Structure 1
Amino acid sequence: MMLQDFHDVTIELLTVLQDQTIVERDERIDRIMQLLDQREELLSQIQPPFSAEELQLGRQSMRLNQQVDQLLLLQKQEIQRDIKELNQKKKTSNKYTNPYENLSTDGMFYDKKK
């Protein structure tokens, strides 16, 4: 029953997205990607006709999917914020290591004495 498997993977994905105990971001992102790939594969295998039980399970999966979308958006925003902070820190650090890098040299003086 592919729909049940899809529902189970969606619940697992939701759990991983809500789990704050996974400290290592790379590990968490890898697991999220695995589950998203698994869901995509299962989704392509789901074919009608559906029983009444499968329709109910499908509706539940749709509601869970909305929660997953919101949590993925929050995860994306968190990553974007961290990248922005990292770029700002890099720019600030670069100013300390090479403070004269961005100086303008357009004002030059030529001495015409002989």
Structure 2
Amino acid sequence: MEAIKQCYQITADLIHLLKEEVNKEEFIQELDELLNQRQACLALLAAPQNEKEEKLGGVLLQQDQELLKLLHQEKGNVQQELKNLKIKKASNQKYVNPYQSLQIDGVFYDRRK
């Protein structure tokens, strides 16, 4: 019973963390720590012994679905940030050295026999 309550609490903390806006570095550290705790807790879960554990397990499954949705959203946000950063970096590089990416066209090799 204790393991399922602990998993329920850790999952609730994860959902709360994903819904609030915090500093990215702190967010990543806390997210990683909570996910590791949750993984260890899920390994300890066993089959429900009574009706109360079964209900809590059903609530935990619903929380898990919400958590997965929020984690996918956060993953998409991070991927979008990385994409924007690459575009910004390339744009900045073109501004600093505009002739770097020029292709040399019009060079002819004249072969005469």
Q: TM-score, normalised by structure 1?
A: 0.88
Structure 1 alignment gaps of length 5 or more: none
State how 1:11-26 maps to structure 2 within 5 Å. Answer: 11-20=12-21, 22=22, 24-26=23-25
Post-superposition, which runs of at least 4 consecutive aligned residues in structure 1 deviate over 6 A?
A: none
| Alignment coverage as a number of residue pairs | 109
Cα RMSD (Å) = 1.6
1: CA distance, partners of 2:90 / 2:43: 45
* CA distances 1:19-57 after superposition (whole Å, capped 9, x unpaired): 12x1x1121111111111101000001122521111100
Matched, 1:46 2:48: no
The residue aligned with 2:104 is 105
The answer (yes or no) to whether the contact 2:11–2:38 under 8 Å persists in 1 is yes
> Does 1:8 pair with 2:5?
no
In 1: Cα distance, 2:105 partner to 2:83 partner: 32
How far is the alpha carbon of 1:86 from its aligned partner? 0.5
Taking structure 2 as the reference length, the TM-score comes to: 0.89
Structure 2 Cα separation of the partners of residues 48 and 65 of structure 1: 17
Partner of 1:87: 86
Unaligned runs of 5+ in 2: none
- Aligned partner of 1:67 in structure 2 is 66
Q: Is residue 35 of structure 1 aligned with residue 34 of structure 2?
A: yes
Deviations 1:45-89 (A, max 9, x none): 112252111110000011011111111111111111111111000
Identity %: 31
Structure 1 counterpart of 2:7, one-letter code? F
